[in-house]
């Protein structure tokens, strides 16, 4: 059904959890750090990324998360971790059922207009948006002397596959 998408979104959830785990131990000053070329500070990027993910879900699922993604609140890392957990559960629920990848959604565009965007593109945006912002956070972490999560050279799906046992080690065979 959506098995390949489940892997993709489970990878996305795993990578975000890894970033949140590293950020949980940062000081307020470290969370406020940013560098040129990124969205903003670490904490602002996390808040933006997770509220955006909730927005993608709201469009696709027709229901809002339990927290107000539009609120101008300033959630801390433990709150963001709880929100992330909810997002993960919601993706699992959504992707466990068939859906129409061509179902169109009217999306306000950056140029002020609107576009008809298929569900498959919204799903793609949800993952790519996460990859981009996690990469920016890793850049900031490196610049402030914090070792970012090791994703095997670029947020590696291979690492996800090993950690989650989606790529178990093969036993040697007689022909090896």
CA dihedral 15, 18, 22, 24 (to 10 degrees): 110
Q: Is-contact 86 119, C-beta < 8 A?
A: no
d(CA 116, CA 19): 33
Q: What's phi and psi for 172, nearest 5 deg?
A: -60, 145
Q: Is the pLDDT of residue 86 over 80?
A: yes
Q: Is the pLDDT of residue 150 over 90?
A: no
Residue 131 is part of which domain span?
Answer: 3-163
Residue 170 lies in a domain: no
Residue 96 lies in a domain: yes
- The domain that contains 8 carries what CATH number? 1.20.120.450
| 3-state SS class at 59 | helix
Render pLDDT for 131-142 as a digit per residue (tens, 0 to 9).
Answer: 999 999 999 999
Hey, CA dihedral for 62, 67, 68, 74, is it positive or negative? negative
Residue 168 lies in a domain: no
Q: What is the pTM of this model?
A: 0.89
């Amino acid at each position: 059904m959506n098995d390949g998408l489940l892997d993709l979104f489970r990878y996305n959830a795993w990578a975000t959890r890894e970033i949140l785990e590293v950020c949980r131990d940062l000081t307020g000053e470290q969370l406020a750090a940013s560098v040129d070329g990124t969205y903003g500070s670490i904490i602002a990027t996390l808040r933006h990324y997770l509220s955006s993910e909730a927005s993608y879900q709201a469009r696709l699922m027709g229901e809002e998360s339990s927290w107000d993604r539009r609120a101008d609140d300033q959630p801390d890392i433990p709150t963001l971790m709880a929100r992330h957990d909810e997002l993960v559960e919601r993706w699992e629920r959504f992707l466990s059922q068939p859906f129409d990848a061509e179902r169109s959604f009217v999306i306000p565009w950056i140029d002020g207009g609107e576009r008809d965007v298929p569900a498959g593109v919204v799903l793609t945006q949800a993952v790519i948006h996460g990859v981009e912002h996690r990469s920016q956070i890793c850049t900031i972490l490196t610049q402030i002397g914090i070792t970012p999560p090791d994703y095997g050279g670029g947020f590696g799906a291979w690492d996800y596959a090993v950690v989650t046992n989606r790529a178990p080690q093969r036993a040697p065979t007689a022909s090896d």
